[in-house]
Amino acid sequence: MTLNDLIKSFRQTNALLKLHVIKAINVNLTIRNWLFGYFIVEFEQKGSDRAKYGEFLLKKLSERLAKYDISNTHERELRRYRLFYQRYPQIGQAVLSRLDTTEIRETLSPKFEEDQIRGTLSPALTEQNKSVLPEKLLTHLSWSHFVPLMDIEDYRKRLFYELECIKGTWSVRELQRQISTLYYERSGMSRKPGLLSEQVQQSAEQFSIREIIKSPFTFEFLGLKAKDVVYESDLEQALIENLQEFMLELGHGICFEARQKRIVIGDEYFFIDLVFYHRILKCHILIELKTKEVKHEHIGQLNVYLNYFKKEIMRPDDNPPVGILLVTEKNKALVEYATAGMDEKLFVSKYLVELPSKKQLEEFLMRELQKN
């Protein structure tokens, strides 16, 4: 064996076992969420004091769980877990084969094992014998895939997307795109659905193991902070860290509030790179950094964040938030301000006096790019 062979063995072993760890995290997160849904349904149906809580169970449960270190147990997520169990009861068969922890088994009802052995598929699926094998669902789809799938009420439609997603190893974004562009309906109307499937699969964005690592569900499950996992590159991380210091050094009443600020819009998570509060202007400043060429959707995304802050975060005595989009294109820096409906004259005459100028920000970006 040569030294190169030894190095190759190290690399292959490291890559393989790291992949196993990541897949195990994903499977265990899915199992946990399925079991949470099972616990809720079991309590609603058979809990001794279920009548006491009634329709307010999830709200009360969320409030009580907030005292413990359990990620993603807000009322919205609890409702999602319940729906997950209801949409995918068959996953219990795979869960049962993996539950080698006595403590977890003891939390299940005596009938759980009997039900799973007998099968808990819906009558329609059982009758037609059409379902993706539970183990395959568990190992081929991430929790992030299940989130859009469980919103589909028609089991035939849901099964269609499960099969196509697994066959094409779709990314979560690809799955969402195909659902939103009515792939199922188009397939039903197509004279050659096989050809349509072939065309879709050829151009589909494939799932990457990085999606599991970067998923907010994963890092919250593991108790990690957003900034530990969401950066796309070392350059982006360095820019964000130095930009935070640069903004605070400018003074002018700028106060740091959050990095990778998580917000929830609908059922989706979004992360704002930097959030500051300006004591003099009495407004939030949202900063988004893109280490790639500017696209129209970047500005639209920042405006969505601004509108969210206006509706959900802004206090009655606050002024509307301001957004700053920073873009690095090779040797060029671009700075754009977004105001989400604020009067432009007011912005120019008042806000730019207190905020860093485009020139200051562009010079900062160029200095950082030269260093990196």
Confidence (pTM):
0.63
255 lies in the same domain as 190: no
Greater confidence, 138 or 242? 138
The predicted pLDDT at position 158 comes to 92
The predicted pLDDT at position 88 comes to 92
The predicted pLDDT at position 129 comes to 42
Determine which of 181-185, 220-224, 269-273 has the lowest per-residue pLDDT on average.
220-224
46 Cβ contact list (under 8 Å, min separation 6): 109
Structural domain contains residue 220 = no
210 lies in the same domain as 232: no
105 lies in the same domain as 147: yes
Q: Which residues of 9-34 are buried (b: 16+ CB within 10 A; e: fewer)?
A: eeeeeeeeeeeeebeebbbebbbbbb
179, 214, 249: which is the final residue of a domain? 214
DSSP 8-class letter at 55: G
105, pLDDT greater than 50: yes
Give the span between the Cα atoms of 219 and 61, in whole angstroms: 23
193, 214, 235: which is the final residue of a domain? 214
196 lies in the same domain as 280: no
Structural domain contains residue 195 = yes
Structural domain contains residue 353 = yes
296 lies in the same domain as 168: no
Structural domain contains residue 163 = yes
- Nearest-10 crossing angle of helices 155-168, 172-180: 140
162, 179, 214: which is the final residue of a domain? 214
Structural domain contains residue 83 = yes
pLDDT tens figures, 352-370 = 767 777 787 877 777 777 7
Which of 264, 269, 266, 304 has its CA nearest to residue 286?
304
pLDDT tens figures, 264-286 = 777 677 888 889 998 888 889 89
Structural domain contains residue 255 = yes
Which of 95, 91, 93, 65 has its CA nearest to residue 77?
65
35 lies in the same domain as 64: yes
Q: Are 179 and 186 in contact (CB under 8 A)?
A: no
Greater confidence, 22 or 350? 22
226 Cβ contact list (under 8 Å, min separation 6): 216, 219, 259, 260, 262, 271
Structural domain contains residue 101 = yes
Query: Averaging pLDDT over each range in 72-86, 234-248, 330-344, which range is the top one?
Result: 72-86
209 lies in the same domain as 303: no
Whole-number mean pLDDT of the chain?
Answer: 78
Q: Domain total for the chain?
A: 2
311, pLDDT greater than 80: yes
The predicted pLDDT at position 118 comes to 44
21 lies in the same domain as 121: yes
Query: How many degrees, rounded to 5, is the angle at CA 70 between CA 305 and CA 82?
Result: 80
208 lies in the same domain as 234: no
The predicted pLDDT at position 102 comes to 53
Structural domain contains residue 219 = no
Domain containing 266 equals 225-371
pLDDT band for position 120 (cuts 50, 70, 90): very low
**CATH number reported for the structural domain that contains residue 314 in this entry:** 3.40.1350
How many Cα atoms occupy the beta-carbon half-sphere of 26 within 13 Å?
24
Q: Are 199 and 183 in contact (CB under 8 A)?
A: no
270 Cβ contact list (under 8 Å, min separation 6): 262, 263, 264, 301, 304, 305
190 lies in the same domain as 295: no
The predicted pLDDT at position 45 comes to 83
Q: Are 278 and 252 in contact (CB under 8 A)?
A: yes
DSSP 8-class letter at 71: S
250 lies in the same domain as 210: no
79, pLDDT greater than 70: yes
The predicted pLDDT at position 362 comes to 79
234, pLDDT greater than 90: no
pLDDT band for position 117 (cuts 50, 70, 90): very low
Residue type, 342: M
236, pLDDT greater than 80: no
250 lies in the same domain as 350: yes
The predicted pLDDT at position 195 comes to 86
